[in-house]
Structure 1
Amino acid sequence: MTFDNAISWFEIPVTDMERAQKFYEAVFDITMQRMDMPGMKMCFFPLTDPMKGVGGTLCDSGGFHTPSEDKGTLIYLNANPNIQTIVDRIEPAGGKIVVPKTHIAPEYGYMAVFIDTEGNRVALHSVEGVVM
């Protein structure tokens, strides 16, 4: 079996949905859609075509998910076309840059890592300047 994308869905744990939504909307210059259900609040990252893209949410699950800056899986969010534009919004929105824009290799582009307002370690990736 092969996959178009290794990831099909992700959930970033939050403890304060309003604060987290404000942070991610400011950093990525997006509008997120909120859905509250019994015992769970979710806030969706926008997708052009949900059937073709990788989707994800901010998720307040009442304790099922735990924010962490040093444990668990590290997800990389899309920072195309220019990762520095996204990095420059992190600290004004209340986050902390842990690894600044870093060149990976000519064929892989750039990455950066930050801590969000909820205490999650999250990474960014962009393919700017990739040589094919």
Structure 2
Amino acid sequence: MPTVPENALVWCEIPVSNLADAMVFYATVLDWELTLDETGPNPVAFFPMTESSVAGHLYPGKPGKGAGPTVHLAVPDTAEAAAARAEAAGGTRVMGPITIPAGQFIYILDPDGNSVGLFEAA
């Protein structure tokens, strides 16, 4: 089995109590431009994606309050810088950095209590 599974994750969804506020939080922390899509039965905010990337979206729903799964998201710079942005934007740093051969990550809770790993590749 390879060290990093190829395409092990195909999609992720993060429930949020306020979609507009969550879009600002994730755009600030990850330096991403999220795309609001209101064409389906519920509005969603898509993470950036390409043809070969794994992505996901935010959606109005009941957040996990730290008891649900953790989604690890790649940061554009360092895990420390992203964690600092998360705290400044209303998130909570939980643990880390934790160094692994592939890089390092820091666990945070977003303002809704969702567990997120901020991953910095080696």
TM-score (norm 2): 0.86
Runs of 4+ with >3 A deviation: none
| Equivalent in 80, 83, 87 of residue 84 of structure 1 | 80
| Pairs within 5 Å for 1:1-132 | 4-37=6-39, 39-47=41-49, 49=50, 51-60=51-60, 65-104=61-100, 107-128=101-122
Q: Which structure has the greater CA radius of gyration? A: 1
- 1:12-67 residue CA offsets vs partner (Å, 9 max, x unmatched): 001101110110111111211101246412001112x2x2000100111xxxx421
Aligned residues: 119
Shift of 1:80: 4.9
- 1:50-108 residue CA offsets vs partner (Å, 9 max, x unmatched): x2000100111xxxx4212332221111125422221121111111111132223xx23
| TM-align CA RMSD | 1.9
Unaligned 5+ runs, structure 1: none
TM-score (norm 1): 0.80
Percent identity of paired positions between Structure 1 and Structure 2: 29
- Structure 2 counterpart of 1:86, which letter? A
